[in-house]
Amino acid sequence: MIETLTTPAFLIAILAAISAAAVVFTFGSSMIVKQDMRQRIKRVAIERDKMRAEEMARLRGGTASDGRGTIRRNAEPKTYVKRAVDRLDLKKAFQDETTVDKLAMAGYRGQGHLTTFLFQRFATPFVVFAFAAVYLLLVVPGERPVFLNLVYAIGAGLVGSYLPLLMLRNATQKRQASIRRSWPDCLDLLLLCVEAGMSMEHAFKRVAREIGQQSAELAEELTLTTAELSFLEDRTRAYENLGRRTGLDNVKAVTTALIQADRYGTSVGQALRVMAEEGRETRMMEAEKKAAALPPKLTVPLILFFLPVLFIVIMAPAIIKVMSNGMMAGS
């Protein structure tokens, strides 16, 4: 047996068998890996189509990731509103390049909201003028001349023309305040999702689901961004639209970093980590700023309300004693 095992022919046969087995194993494993890769790509495509269908159903139904109705639907305006806007050509009179962006910052999207806003800008001065004229001429006419009351009513109408802009600005500020307050937490969650191996679509979707309880407005924006990342061919447009809809410098900085990471192939996790640290530092600086501004704000209430009461409590017994001693001396 030893002689057989040590013969050159037997050794050559063993080496040939081992080589053949190695070749078969190599090619077989490569085929298995390719088949596994195809299955993974197929699963990713199925999951992507499923997510796309869910986002479309959510957007059409007008619900956010937390189940609440937060996305404002593109409600069709009344017939007379649309007719008035078309016949009077109010788009040319009141719409500029930033009108659509301003409405988007306030959460109003679509042609319906634009038509309603333009009609409000046209009709509000007349409504305010009519109300002021009726109030000044019929309710409280006083001794003023009629033309003076009409002048006051016209002035009220001119001031009322800015009422839709003020309401839009107020809605925008409230929405931006909600997004700004929850944005650092959103960055931390995005960083955790990306470092866990999620894609940006799944990360935005997951964060939108979690952040909805804290800020429904931010969850709405992230949901729209998820849908745009699934539909748009250029991912940078989805990030740019997120910054344009929010109008916040912090959000624009993060979207710029994501665009650069996607364009140049840099680490998305590293960019999000840097932005998350800057967001936490910014929030801490804002808290310190508010704390530093508290003593000057308390000065006036302290002088008006606390010090007089303190003086009364301290000096009242002495005054009462002096007055009682004076009355006893006089008697």
pLDDT at 116 over 50: yes
In the block, residue with structure tokens 């057989």: 4
Q: Which residues contact 115 (CB under 8 A, 6 or more apart)?
A: 77, 81, 82, 85
Q: What is the pLDDT of residue 6?
A: 67
Q: How far apart are CA 236 and CA 259, in angstroms?
A: 6
Q: What is the pLDDT of residue 55?
A: 55
Domain that holds residue 212: 179-285
Residue predicted with more confidence, 76 or 65:
76
Hey, what are 223's tokens? 């949901």
Q: Total structural domains in the chain?
A: 1
Q: Which of 205, 213, 218, 149 is nearest to 177 (CA)?
A: 218
Range name among 43-57, 65-79, 107-121 with the lowest pLDDT average: 65-79
Give the pLDDT mean for 253-270. 85
Q: What is the pLDDT of residue 170?
A: 92
107 torsion bin: left (phi>0), alpha (psi -120 to 50), beta (else) = left
pLDDT at 140 over 80: no
Asked if residue 95 belongs to a domain, the reply is no
Asked if residue 252 belongs to a domain, the reply is yes
Range name among 79-93, 174-188, 207-221 with the lowest pLDDT average: 79-93
Buried b or exposed e, range 19-32, using 16+ CB within 10 angstroms: eeeeeeeeeeeeee
Asked if residue 127 belongs to a domain, the reply is no
- What pTM does this model have? 0.64
Q: How far apart are CA 314 and CA 321, in angstroms?
A: 12
Asked if residue 52 belongs to a domain, the reply is no
- CA 101-106-112 angle, to 5 degrees, is 75
pLDDT at 33 over 70: no
pLDDT at 63 over 50: no
Give the pLDDT mean for 194-209. 86
pLDDT at 117 over 50: yes
DSSP characters over 9-58: HHHHHHHHHHHHHHHHHHHHHHHHHHHHHHHHHHHHHHHHHHHHHHHHHH
Asked if residue 273 belongs to a domain, the reply is yes
Return mean pLDDT, the chain: 79
How far are the Cα atoms of 1, 81, 189, 234 from residue 281, in angstroms, in the given order?
Answer: 79, 48, 16, 32
Give the pLDDT mean for 220-240. 85
Give the pLDDT mean for 309-331. 79
Q: Which of 279, 264, 121, 309 is nearest to 191 (CA)?
A: 279
Asked if residue 111 belongs to a domain, the reply is no
Q: What is the pLDDT of residues 277-305, one digit of tens each?
A: 888 888 888 888 888 888 888 888 888 88
AA identity, residue 139: V
In the block, residue with structure tokens 């990731």: 65
98 and 122 Cβ atoms separated by less than 8 Å: no
Q: How far apart are CA 6 and CA 11, in angstroms?
A: 7
Q: What is the pLDDT of residue 39?
A: 62
pLDDT at 35 over 60: no
pLDDT at 175 over 60: yes
Q: What is the pLDDT of residue 67?
A: 39
Q: How far apart are CA 319 and CA 327, in angstroms?
A: 12
Q: What is the pLDDT of residue 66?
A: 40
Q: What is the pLDDT of residue 315?
A: 85
Asked if residue 143 belongs to a domain, the reply is no
Q: How far apart are CA 1 and CA 16, in angstroms?
A: 20
203 and 194 Cβ atoms separated by less than 8 Å: yes
Asked if residue 55 belongs to a domain, the reply is no
